[in-house]
Amino acid sequence: MLAKKTVKNQITLPKAVVERFGNVEYFAVSTDGESIVLRPLRESRADEVRTRLASLGIRDEDVKDAVAWARKKA
């Protein structure tokens, strides 16, 4: 399979490659000196927690307030 770099430094991945990774939107890019390595980034557990908190209506400010309350000296 081939991929061509455009003048804007963009590369379109072959369909057969992309299909192996489902709905992955982001890839970590690195190099070993001779090769370009793409690693799919999947939604992290932290993202799942943020999504759940949002669905419960809990905002960043609520979390900050709860942490401040828990850290208060008695």
Rg for the chain, CA atoms, rounded: 20
Identify the segments of the chain with pLDDT beneath 70.
Answer: 74
What are 47-57's pLDDT values in tens digits? 778 888 999 99
Domain ranges in the chain are 1-42, 43-74
At 74, list the tokens: 């008695």
pLDDT at 31: 94
The structure tokens 């991929």 sit at 3
At 51, list the tokens: 């999504």
pLDDT at 67: 92
The structure tokens 């192996």 sit at 20
Q: Report angle CA 42, 44, 47 to the nearest 5 degrees.
A: 120
